[in-house]
Structure 1
Amino acid sequence: MKTLLLYPKFPQSFWSYDRFMEIAGLKAVLPPLGLITVASLLPKTWEIRFCDRNVAPETDADWAWCDLVILSAMLVQQQDFQDLIQKAVKLGKKVAVGGPYPTAVPEEAINSGAHYLILDEGELTIPMFLEAIAQGQTTGLFRSSEKPDVTLSPTPRFDLLQQDAYLMMAVQFSRGCPFNCEFCDIIALYGRKPRTKEPEQILTELQTLYDLGWRGSIFMVDDNFIGNQRNVKRLLRALSPWLADHNYPFTFLTEASVNLAEDDELLSLMVESGFYAVFLGIETPDQESLHVTGKVQNTRRPLVEACRKINDAGLLIYAGFILGFDGERAGAGARIQEFVSETSIPQPMLGILQAPPLTALWHRLKREERLITGERIHPTGDQNTLMNFIPTRPIAEIAQEYVEGFWTMYEPQDYLKRCFQQCMGIGLPLKPRQTMKFPLAKGFHLVLQVMWYQGICRSEIRGQFWRQLWVIFWQKPQVLNMYLGLCAAGEHFWEYRVLARERIMEQLGYDPMNVLA
């Protein structure tokens, strides 16, 4: 079987870092870990070609060569995903699809013409698909209510990647989350019992990346890395000596719940094992909204105190915030801004609440007949999309708070100030090796570009940039590349905040040009 694995394009979004990628000479932030894991599950006798369309498009020769096209996608990739299905069908190719998007909304893949739907987790459903192919079946839908044992998951096909096109590599240790946040689709997709790989598996994957020549940062893509704290500590205790034996080729960042601040040992182990940053789902400083949405783990201790504890341990904080919870009081956006200012979180991801399919929130709103359907619905999956349900306060009020909040938090002077304060406030371990890494040649080019744009071209921050850089250089040089990386990311956010405002205005029915004028 001649198989073409395609990963659809992402639209410009908060996490796409478009301008950053451009000045860094990179194409994409992360590789598609799910799709290269699928490649490892396919028969060794199959011929495989792989293409991440965020890096480079496939060719006409690829289309002519293949018998089967396999696609994986998240919800935000829906447009290119559907277009690729339709193109493949038009060319007479068989199409198999999987990933979070078709798993949550299979009817959209079917309507686009997909022949095989390999849903849920591939370790269980890909064998079903392969058996159907062997029996000559031309269509099929393959699902499993069981969760696979991830200790049996194969090492992803990292060799298929064009490594120098990515900012980071990706590795997964666990699936699932023990918490019960109403709006989160992770527990719907992967369950509430975190399943972890064995430490030896992760070390094998890291050794594979090492042998392929990767040196730099790795995103541990778990949705809650610390969901199983016992097993994550086992991993970290094995990871630290491996890194030392290999002269610290990698640094790590991941996602975790705020209760990370409650475990001193875990914090210490993460820093000792090369973790330099963590993304926290803070959502809101409003305690009432946290209780409404079931995010009780964020109510156990003051959130500002938790953030400072994590910073003091040596970790940079990225964080997500949401507007639009039921019963939310007016001014929620301003309260988020105050929280971000107090904690100096450099890159707060502010979004408007969505009810993803299959979540507890989606089911509740469906019972309450508050879901928006048909032509009135806005596409979901990006942070600057109006909610797909009727909120409890005026939607225009929520939208205004989103636009004002995002615009203000990414005002260049405020952004650079937070970057500086966060870096200066991070505690340093005895061996300060944990910080974001770039390949040397591209890192040097990126530094020159940042100095040109922010140290020369942008008059409003020119003096601030040089003053802060000088202090970092003399007082805390260990975080210099972290600081410059955050500065470079500002180039993306200063463009993206304009796009975010335009998108919201269009969804509200305003002419963005008139509003901006």
Structure 2
Amino acid sequence: MRVLLLYPRFPKSFWSFEKGLELIGRKALLPPLSLITVAAILPQEWEYKLVDRNISEGVTEAEWEWADLVVLSCMIVQKEDLLAQIREAKRRGKRVAVGGPYVTALPDESRQAGADYLILDEGEITLPMFVEALEKGETSGVFSANGEKADVSQTPIPRFDLLDRHAYDTMAIQFSRGCPFQCEFCDIIVLYGRKSRTKSPAQVLAELDRLVELGFTQAVFLVDDNFIGNKRNVKLLLKELKVWLEKNRYPFRFLTEASVDLAQDRELLEQMVECNFYVVFLGIETPDAESLTLTKKFQNTRDSLSDSVEAMTKAGLRVMAGFIIGFDGEKPGAGERIVQFVEKTSIPMAMFSMLQALPNTALWHRLEKEKRLNSQMGNGNQTTLMNFVPTRPLEEIAREYIDGFWQLYDPMRYLDRTYRHFMMMGAPRNPVPRRRLNWGTIRALLTLCWRQGIVRETRFKFWIYLFSILRHNPRVCDHYLAVCGLLEHFYEYRAIVRDQIESQLAEYLAAKAAAESSSESVQESAAA
């Protein structure tokens, strides 16, 4: 069996980082971990080719001709290209199997596009069902775990050998699935449950051994939605990871996502820093305690959010954070309060979004019951209006959002926050893997200095801040410059956010005015 693993294209988003990646000669931020894990679970006597449409123009004629079966996986934000690729594969007479979070949440759309096999839920359970169906000669099918969760301690090492080693900025592995919390808007607990299931330390170290064997040198992102969801098992992993890193001369740095309560577990925080973790993404969402309580994000209400950010930063972790506007009962000015919090805590990269109801979440079901969902499907992108009727005017929320995003990624503000953050940051405890000094690295540095240090209004602060970092916290300088480089993405992306939201808002207001006018006409006719 010859299997073409096809990964759909992401639209431009907060995380696409095109301009920043161009500086360092990379094509995409992360590899398709889902598909190389699928390749590891499926029979190893089969042949596999991987086409990631985020790093290539698309599938070649030779690759289409070679394939007996096309397998796709995607998240909701990739759905447009997923459906297009399903149709293209079927046009060429190929059998198509699809899976992943989007297909699990909304399987009918892929079926209508022509997919033959829907592999829902977690592949460790449903892929063997799919293989059995193929062996029986079945030409279609839907394979579901029916609520059962996979034992990830049995998940094989992903097929990292299928990846283009030079295309990705950061590698990806997974330690756990699931999250113990109950945030109303989150689909992770719907997809993976509230029990954090983990791999064994031996599994994770074997995956790292494989990356070393294949010559990968990038930082490694543990893609867990809450890395510290099972603190006991995390500490056991970190204990063994520390020994592995020392033995292998610290080949990798790590980044991950975690809940804010990490700051209150000093032992765990210290272990992470000792194991070369250097970035953590936090779901802060909002500084408004009432909104956090309403959305059941209680873990963010127990301690000072700003103190937690400061504790992690001083320990040596660069903090990234997600923020959301549009919660029910939210008071006017929420966008400005988020901006003020980001400025106060000096978080360089704040992912700011309007709230969207994702399929099958508690929020989705509540809004559906209240008849507040509209026909627009949420996609999790920053360039999309809310897909439900909020409790305050949508136009008010949208304008606060546009203004807030524009302020957050004003070049001077971004540079100021980045400088303050890195001046506060604890220095790395261990040797830091460095990018090889080559012409590409030199060109990236020269381009950054030209754009931010000469051409733009940041020119004076850029040099003042750089020399200050070199003088007072020199071991974070490479990291500091990398974050400065990401401004190249946000410099363009903030205009994309503004233009697309304003366009959608204008359409919404026009439709609203037309509906109101039609309603008035009906009332006048009835009165006559």
Q: TM-score range by the shorter chain?
A: over 0.9
Match of 1:514 in 2: none
Match of 2:316 in 1: 314
Q: Is the 8 A contact 2:270 2:315 kept in 1?
A: yes
Match of 2:49 in 1: 49
User: Does 2:171 match 1:173?
Assistant: no
1:409-420 matches, cutoff 5 A: 409-420=408-419
Match of 1:135 in 2: 136
Match of 1:515 in 2: none
Structure 1 stretches lacking a partner, 5+ long:
512-517
User: Does 2:480 match 1:475?
Assistant: no
Match of 2:27 in 1: 27
User: Does 2:451 match 1:449?
Assistant: no
1:496 and 1:378 map into 2 onto residues whose CA distance is 22
Following superposition, the deviation at residue 440 of structure 1 comes to 3.9
Letter paired with 1:422: H
User: Does 2:94 match 1:93?
Assistant: yes
Q: Is the 8 A contact 1:174 1:225 kept in 2?
A: yes
1:418-429 matches, cutoff 5 A: 418-428=417-427
Following superposition, the deviation at residue 216 of structure 1 comes to 2.6
User: Does 2:62 match 1:61?
Assistant: yes
Match of 1:205 in 2: 207
Decide whether aligned partners of structure 1 residues 440 and 133 sit closer, same or farther in structure 2, where only a CA change above 3 A counts: farther
Decide whether aligned partners of structure 1 residues 151 and 241 sit closer, same or farther in structure 2, where only a CA change above 3 A counts: same
Q: Is the 8 A contact 1:167 1:438 kept in 2?
A: no
Normalising by structure 1, what TM-score?
A: 0.96
Match of 2:198 in 1: 196
1:70 and 1:345 map into 2 onto residues whose CA distance is 39
Decide whether aligned partners of structure 1 residues 40 and 378 sit closer, same or farther in structure 2, where only a CA change above 3 A counts: closer
Letter paired with 1:185: D
Q: Is the 8 A contact 1:223 1:255 kept in 2?
A: yes
1:146 and 1:274 map into 2 onto residues whose CA distance is 35
1:67-466 matches, cutoff 5 A: 67-144=68-145, 145-373=147-375, 377=376, 380-428=379-427, 431-433=429-431, 438-441=435-438, 442-458=440-456, 460-466=457-463
Letter paired with 2:466: L
Following superposition, the deviation at residue 46 of structure 1 comes to 1.1
Q: Is the 8 A contact 1:150 1:195 kept in 2?
A: yes
Match of 2:518 in 1: none
Decide whether aligned partners of structure 1 residues 492 and 449 sit closer, same or farther in structure 2, where only a CA change above 3 A counts: same
Deviations 1:428-476 (A, max 9, x none): 35x34468x5454344332222112112222x01111011011111211
Q: 1:488 aligns with which of 485, 489, 513?
A: 485
2:352 and 2:252 map into 1 onto residues whose CA distance is 29
Deviations 1:356-394 (A, max 9, x none): 001000011111111102xxx265220221111100000
2:64 and 2:345 map into 1 onto residues whose CA distance is 50
2:109 and 2:235 map into 1 onto residues whose CA distance is 41
Letter paired with 1:7: Y
Q: Is the 8 A contact 2:27 2:168 kept in 1?
A: yes
Following superposition, the deviation at residue 141 of structure 1 comes to 0.3
Letter paired with 1:445: R
Give SS of 1:504's match.
helix
Following superposition, the deviation at residue 123 of structure 1 comes to 0.2
Letter paired with 1:397: E
2:369 and 2:50 map into 1 onto residues whose CA distance is 42
Decide whether aligned partners of structure 1 residues 434 and 363 sit closer, same or farther in structure 2, where only a CA change above 3 A counts: farther
Q: Is the 8 A contact 1:226 1:260 kept in 2?
A: yes
**Which has the higher mean CA deviation after the structures are superposed, 339-348 or 209-218?**
209-218
Decide whether aligned partners of structure 1 residues 181 and 128 sit closer, same or farther in structure 2, where only a CA change above 3 A counts: same
Q: Is the 8 A contact 1:255 1:279 kept in 2?
A: yes
**Which has the higher mean CA deviation after the structures are superposed, 307-316 or 339-348?**
307-316
Letter paired with 1:159: D
2:136 and 2:413 map into 1 onto residues whose CA distance is 61
Letter paired with 1:318: M
Following superposition, the deviation at residue 112 of structure 1 comes to 0.6
Following superposition, the deviation at residue 326 of structure 1 comes to 0.5
2:244 and 2:437 map into 1 onto residues whose CA distance is 23
Deviations 1:206-253 (A, max 9, x none): 000001111131111000000000000000010011111111110000
Deviations 1:142-166 (A, max 9, x none): 0002001100000000001001111
Match of 1:502 in 2: 499
| Structure whose CA Rg is larger | 2
Structure 2 stretches lacking a partner, 5+ long:
509-528
Deviations 1:316-375 (A, max 9, x none): 1000000000000000001001100100000100000010001000011111111102xx
- Runs (4+) of structure 1 exceeding 6 A deviation are none
Letter paired with 2:329: G
Q: Is the 8 A contact 1:31 1:166 kept in 2?
A: yes
1:155 and 1:326 map into 2 onto residues whose CA distance is 43
2:300 and 2:386 map into 1 onto residues whose CA distance is 23
Question: How big is the alpha-carbon RMSD for the aligned residues of Structure 1 and Structure 2?
Answer: 1.2
Letter paired with 1:64: E
Give SS of 2:450's match.
helix
Q: Is the 8 A contact 2:200 2:237 kept in 1?
A: yes
Give SS of 1:339's match.
helix
Decide whether aligned partners of structure 1 residues 439 and 99 sit closer, same or farther in structure 2, where only a CA change above 3 A counts: farther
Deviations 1:489-512 (A, max 9, x none): 00100100000001101111269x
Match of 2:522 in 1: none
Give SS of 1:70's match.
strand
Deviations 1:237-296 (A, max 9, x none): 100111111111100000000000110000000000010010000000000000000000
Give SS of 1:226's match.
coil
Q: Is the 8 A contact 2:28 2:54 kept in 1?
A: yes
Give SS of 1:334's match.
helix
